[in-house]
Amino acid sequence: MNNDNRMRNNNNVKPKIIPRREHGISRKGIGGNALKVLYRLNRGGYEAYLVGGGVRDLLLETQPKDFDIATNATPEEVRRLFRNCRLVGRRFRLAHILYGRDVIEVATFRGHHASKKSDKYASQSNDGRLLRDNVYGTIDEDGERRDFTVNALYYNIDDFSVRDHAGGMEDLKNRVIRLIGDPETRYREDPVRMLRAVRFAAKLNMQINSSTAEPIPALAHLLCDIPSARLFEESIKLLQTGHGYPIYLMLRELKLFSPMFPILEGHFTEDSSSKAEQMLTLVLQSTDSRVNSDQRINPAFMYAAILWYPLERRAEELSFENDFTHYDTFMMAANEILDEQVKSLALPRRFTAMVRDIWQLQLRLNRRSGTRAYKLLEQPKFRAAFDFLEMRSRVEGGQLNELATWWDVFQKADREGRNNIIQFINKACPSKKTCDQPHKRLNKHKPQSNQE
């Protein structure tokens, strides 16, 4: 963390105007659809600015993922200008301009909650969290309302200048993530800002200013009040955009990981040596590698891996308490773990269904005699299940290593080779029960409490 303890007070500070000749932003770097929106707003008599991450990334000479626009036009006025516009959001009223799959987000300048008139359009909870915020204002007020200094940068389509409202240009140069205003107040307004600070720091290879970071551990519990659907979307941005492992380490350091994955709290150790922690390292590093190599990823695989060892422990607990088969106990535990997890992160059903498929196939991969191995190869989720088996083998070793190697060889063999491999299995295990061990009961021992 940065040791600079300065706190900027941005109220009543005039923005710095950087003319075109003094910054590196070119319209060639701005998406064509974003330019269309900027120009039409400008021709319609409204102020129009490219704002936030798009400006920040262009100044850092990286390609923005998307382009957001700020204007003094109200959402209804924006809709009158664009036939391809739809208004979204209750907490923050926004206009989305649709060009096929490309969505340009247009926000009206936000104002301060300074008068009773604003009560009709804004509300806060007792702990300071913003529940509704549709108070409109000027560009200067909007700049003060932004979260981080590096996001309070505006590119003016009218004269191609950049407006810096909070010293963001200096912080970009010094590679510092700094919150605008009093950190505790801003985090209470929207606790997700704590997650955004971590994400920006890891994504941009920057440091979080010490005053911005200091209150986070004590306020991490506020994430428990955030809707689980919103936290799920944030978890995707945090863990599946190519910087998941360093973000995970920073989340752990700032006590932000447990509010999203409370089930894992009992698996954390001082030296990060538990099986669950080893699995987190493997799956997040693997995901980062795939994202940065432009390979496809499926969020369900990551969640299946993250929750596997809590699932194993829960199955042991249920087996200790009941006299069920291994399969029945395992599926009961799977349902309980997922039911608990969706309370904090609302995983969509399509993901929880795939998580169950990957988990269930772990029970079947040991059953290779007869025609079972061929049937498993035909399962739609076999490849994901095999990849997870390999990952488990790297954590546990032993028989799992042998099993993963067997399946790797079997997949790559031709038909004759596969037949020979199966014949060897059948000869080595003349009894299917001996070889496959279906529906075995879990060992009747009291489950471990803190470490695997």
**Cβ-contact 399, 407 below 8 angstroms:** no
Per-residue pLDDT at 321: 77
Q: From the candidates 4, 66, 328, 357, which is the catalytic residue?
A: 66
Per-residue pLDDT at 435: 53
**Cβ-contact 355, 338 below 8 angstroms:** yes
Residue 167's nearest CA partner among 29, 58, 9, 57 is: 9
Residue owning tokens 């969509």: 348
Q: CA 345 to CA 302: how far, in whole Å?
A: 13
- DSSP designation for 179: B
**What residues are paired with 95 via a beta bridge?**
87, 106
Per-residue pLDDT at 429: 62
Per-residue pLDDT at 13: 61
Q: From the candidates 68, 164, 288, 436, which is the catalytic residue?
A: 68
Residue 254's nearest CA partner among 297, 189, 208 is: 208
Q: CA 415 to CA 170: how far, in whole Å?
A: 64
**Cβ-contact 136, 110 below 8 angstroms:** yes
Rounded (10°) CA dihedral 248, 253, 259, 264: 70
Residue owning tokens 């664009």: 82
Cα distance from N-terminal residue to C-terminal residue, the chain: 32
Instruction: Return phi, psi of residue 367, to 5°.
Output: -95, 95
Question: How many residues are recorded in the chain?
Answer: 452
> Which parts of the chain have pLDDT scores under 50?
1-11, 115-125, 128-132, 432-434, 437-452
Catalytic site includes residue 68: yes
**Cβ-contact 222, 191 below 8 angstroms:** yes
Q: How far is CA 271 from CA 125, 307, 396, in A?
A: 39, 20, 17
Tokens of 18: 């950087």
Q: CA 452 to CA 438: how far, in whole Å?
A: 24
Other beta carbons within 10 angstroms of residue 24's beta carbon come to: 11
- Which residues in 85-103 are b (16+ Cβ under 10 Å) and which e? beeeeeeebbbbbeeeeee
List of domains in the chain: 11-174 (3.30.460.10), 307-428 (1.10.3090.10)
Q: CA 252 to CA 182: how far, in whole Å?
A: 23
DSSP string, 306-345: HTHHHHHHHHHHHHHHS---HHHHHHHHHHHHHHHHHHHS
Question: Greatest CA span in the chain, whole angstroms?
Answer: 83
Beta strand pairing call for 153-156 and 207-208: unpaired
What is the model's pTM? 0.84
Q: CA 195 to CA 241: how far, in whole Å?
A: 14
Other beta carbons within 10 angstroms of residue 81's beta carbon come to: 18
Q: From the candidates 57, 140, 142, 147, which is the catalytic residue?
A: 147
Burial status of residue 341 (CB atoms within 10 A of its CB: 0-12, 13-18, 19 or more): buried
Q: Own/partner pairs for 241-249, CB < 8 Å, 24+ apart? A: 241/203, 241/291, 242/288, 242/291, 242/292, 243/199, 243/202, 243/203, 243/288, 244/284, 244/287, 244/288, 245/281, 245/284, 245/285, 245/288, 246/202, 247/198, 247/199, 247/202, 248/280, 248/284
- DSSP designation for 254: T
Residue 259's nearest CA partner among 300, 230, 222, 303 is: 222
